[in-house]
Amino acid sequence: MAMHHPSLIAALFALMIASGLAQQPSGGQTQPPPQGQGQLRGGQGPGGPDQRQIQTRDRAQPPQGKGSIAGRVLTADTGRPVKRARVTVSGGGRGGRTTTTDDLGRYQVADLGAGTYTITGSKNGFADSVYGQRRPQQPGTPVTIADAQAAANIDLRLTRGGVVTGHVLDEDGEALARALVTVQRYQYVRGERQLAPAGRDQTDDRGQYRVFGLPPGEYYVSATAGGLFQLIGRGLQQLAAGLEGLGARGGRGGAAGALAEFAAGNEPEPTGYAPTYYPGVVNAPEAGKVSIAPGQEVAGIDFQIQLVPFATVSGIVAGADDIVPVMMVPQDAGGTGPRGGQMLSGRSQSDGTFSISNVPPGRYVAIARSGGRNDDPKTGAQSIVVNGENIGGVTLILQPGITLSGNITVESSGTPAPTDYSRFRVDVSEVSPLPIGGGGGRAGRGGVQQNGAFEIGNLFPGKHYIGMTGGGQGAGQGQGPGRGQGVAQGQWTLKSVLVAGQDVTDQPVDLKPGQNIDNVTIVLTDRATEVTGTVRDGKSVPVAAVTVIAFSSDPQYWRAQSRHIQAARTNASGAFRLRGLPAGDYLIVAVDDVEQGEWFDPAYLEPARVRANRVTIREGETKVQDLRGPS
């Protein structure tokens, strides 16, 4: 990648814009989980509103008052005050308010209106902390204040970040300078376990790297030889794919086309350095884990980057009316290790042929996509295994999107039917989502007309779940706890989903190419279930700030964003509330060792079922179930 390339300045500028849209955590700083489906509601007892509802109301009616939140920031190990730490108070409809602690670790944020707030602390060398966390990566506990209330003693404890350091060597055992080293750890995003960067560094002239500020946990360390320029090229490829997905021009002269052309301008090479994982392997499942305790420096994580044969993958895009981008997206090998390799991109020619060079060995999905979100997109995909030999004859057949439509109806036990169904949204999520650039992304989402009719287009063929969100109801794929708002604001939960009269509730629906589905009926009910209770310890003392998880006793429902799984945080009185679970048999347990979204993971639920209480919930039933706190 030559520095004198005429497009470099424009490309770098575009990359900086893209980084603002899709930032990755670095230096041990982790991003908060996305709001919405599967989001844990913290600190609310029975009858409490959820966080999203508070924010929506606050935007409509800005809060007034002179409330305040104050406390100290201390080290988790010694309890010493942390000066010059940043404390951010977010929520209450005003966005984030940030202050800095004094020499005694004290902070105060004033002029707060009544509402619910999340308090976060950070400082270089420490892992970020959210008030109420028992350890990093766990949910925090929002703080609710009344008008003019002064909340004191809201103390944060920062855990000292760990360090991983070592050397990257070339194939001859010599120091490899300017190699990009990435430290990754698993996190739960929308209920799915995914690797996310926790920190990066570039090796110096001795081949040495050092990544600091890492929260305690298990990590994977990888290195690529391209250094900063390879990172830029990868970002440009992803930006080009994102622009295509947003409908940017992909043909000659388009913004997405220019970026993809610039990022993919490498000459074919017979061999090259493959992305390599500690302790020196290119196969993701063989990557070694590095365990880091609070404040621990783990040294000697040295490994040799591997020289491998590169291949060229070529073929044709069938059904394209214009030049389209083609991507090679690496696949997670069996889900047992980190995602290998990097996304590679190319472009088809006017005759539909394409060629992507310098592809390291691995498992990929080749994806071609034409059009944008509002331009009748077509997508073709094919799985490919690359073993160092050139692959030709790949055919990517572009398929038009599928449209799913129908109506919403209600079964009421006395609640007036909604006069406006446009508050609801229909979600159609892929069972096995294609990587970036494929199909409709993770999910199709469509608005509903006032009369209850809906239509969702541009869905990719394959198996999908159909669900609901919005409208004050507590149903839908992956709905989080506490969405109910009461009858006055719409007390409706999902009862069933019918396709041509057949009940497909919580079952995958197979969408076939060229076959639109126009006979979907979504049935809502006002007979919502509710489970409330109190968590107490062995001495009958209420336990605050622990997580209560209710999950179906049937493992078929143990999947990301399942509406048969809910979690809630106990409030100061140890109370919790779960609303909108479908009728059925459940296991319910109080825990303090769970990360945000981990309750969707079967690997977590299987051992949790041993200590859980069994509860049967009938349609419309309100049940009280007290729990024993975690020991």
CATH at 439: 2.60.40
Given a cut of 50, whether residue 53 has pLDDT beyond it is no
In a domain, 70, yes or no: yes
> How does pLDDT run across 77-99, given as a tens digit for each residue?
999 999 999 999 998 766 678 99
Rounded-to-integer distance, Cα 589 and Cα 591, Å: 6
Give the range among 194-203, 358-367, 374-383 with minimum mean pLDDT: 374-383
Amino acid letter at 627? L
331 φ, ψ (degrees, to nearest 5): -110, 145
Mean pLDDT of 480-492: 41
Rounded-to-integer distance, Cα 522 and Cα 494, Å: 8
Residue numbers of the domain that contains 193: 8-24+162-399
In a domain, 546, yes or no: yes
Rounded-to-integer distance, Cα 514 and Cα 512, Å: 6
Residue 524 structure tokens = 């809502």
Handedness of CA 618, 622, 623, 627 (dihedral sign): positive
Same domain, 212 and 150: no
Rounded-to-integer distance, Cα 68 and Cα 117, Å: 11
Here the CATH number for the domain that contains residue 104 is: 2.60.40.10
| Mean pLDDT (the chain, rounded) | 80
Same domain, 482 and 568: no
In a domain, 40, yes or no: no
In a domain, 361, yes or no: yes
pLDDT of res. 617: 96
pLDDT of res. 373: 53
Domain boundary among 120, 140, 160: 160
Three-state SS for 198-213 is: EEEEECCCCCEEEEEE
In a domain, 407, yes or no: yes
pLDDT of res. 37: 30
Strand (E) or helix (H) holding 192? strand 192-202
Mean pLDDT of 597-626: 95
Same domain, 362 and 501: no
Same domain, 355 and 489: no
Q: How many Cα atoms occupy the beta-carbon half-sphere of 233 within 13 Å? A: 22
DSSP secondary structure letters along 506-552: TS-EEE-TT--EEEEEEEEES---EEEEEEE-TTS-B--S-EEEEEE
Given a cut of 70, whether residue 8 has pLDDT beyond it is no
pLDDT of res. 16: 43
Q: How far apart are the first and last CA of the chain?
A: 57
Same domain, 205 and 121: no
Here the CATH number for the domain that contains residue 586 is: 2.60.40.1120
18 φ, ψ (degrees, to nearest 5): -65, -40
Handedness of CA 370, 373, 375, 381 (dihedral sign): positive
Same domain, 234 and 349: yes
Contact between residue 381 and residue 461 where contact means Cβ atoms under 8 Å apart: no
Same domain, 192 and 215: yes
pLDDT-derived band of residue 22, with 50, 70 and 90 as boundaries?
very low
Give the range among 167-181, 280-294, 544-558 with minimum mean pLDDT: 280-294
229 φ, ψ (degrees, to nearest 5): -65, -35
pLDDT of res. 332: 60
Give Cα separations from 1 to 255, 261, 267, 326, 373 (angstroms): 19, 12, 10, 20, 32
How much is the CA Rg of the chain, to the nearest whole Å? Answer: 26
pLDDT of res. 471: 55
More confident site: 528 or 484 = 528
Given a cut of 80, whether residue 613 has pLDDT beyond it is yes
Given a cut of 60, whether residue 50 has pLDDT beyond it is no
In a domain, 608, yes or no: yes
pLDDT of res. 86: 97
Residue 41 contacts by C-beta under 8 Å, 6 or more apart in sequence? 48, 50, 51, 480, 481, 482, 568, 569
Domain boundary among 503, 525, 547: 525
In a domain, 481, yes or no: yes
> How does pLDDT run across 251-290, given as a tens digit for each residue?
444 555 554 554 444 578 888 898 899 999 987 778 999 9
Domain boundary among 525, 552, 569: 525
Rounded-to-integer distance, Cα 523 and Cα 584, Å: 18
> How does pLDDT run across 356-365, given as a tens digit for each residue?
999 988 889 9
pLDDT of res. 136: 77
Same domain, 552 and 503: no
Residue 271 contacts by C-beta under 8 Å, 6 or more apart in sequence? 307, 308, 309, 310
Give the range among 25-34, 226-235, 376-385, 574-583 with minimum mean pLDDT: 25-34
Task: State how many domains the chain has.
Answer: 4
In a domain, 565, yes or no: yes
Check residue 469 and give left, alpha or beta (phi > 0: left; psi -120 to 50: alpha): beta
Same domain, 385 and 414: no
Strand (E) or helix (H) holding 260? helix 255-263
> How does pLDDT run across 307-355, given as a tens digit for each residue?
999 999 999 999 888 889 999 988 764 444 455 557 788 889 999 999 9
Mean pLDDT of 211-215: 93
pLDDT of res. 249: 47
Same domain, 389 and 410: no
Same domain, 316 and 416: no
Same domain, 119 and 192: no
Residue 4 structure tokens = 């004198």
Place of tokens 């109370």: 575
pLDDT of res. 588: 98
